[in-house]
Amino acid sequence: MRDVAGRVGITERAAMRIVAHLEEAGILTRHKEGRRNRYVIHPDQPLRHPMESRCTVGSLLSLLARNTKSEFDDRQPVSASRSTLYSDED
């Protein structure tokens, strides 16, 4: 979580709150694996705002990935069941 917070310029606590909101909305699921968390993104979920609800999380991520691909090329996915997953230590 610390790495994610640092990359986007927010505190670790703020990143944890955002992840909790995404979990509540069904956009991602967190699985505990020992001391680590594994996150699964559900790309078929609609965006939360009523004006954007016809768009899915996956379509937004695809758009963002095209614009930031080179920045994240060094990251190694943990697995890929629904979307690319990254692990995070507690």
26 contacts: CB under 8 Å, gap ≥ 6: 42, 45
- Mean model confidence pLDDT for the chain: 81
Residue 46: which H helix or E strand, with range?
Answer: none
Residue 7's domain comprises 2-89
Listed residue (17, 39, 34, 33) closest to 86, CA to CA: 39
**The total number of structural domains that make up the chain:** 1
Once rounded to an integer, what is the mean pLDDT over residues 9-28? Answer: 94
Higher-confidence residue of 41 and 84: namely 41
The span from the CA of 42 to the CA of 26, in Å, is 7
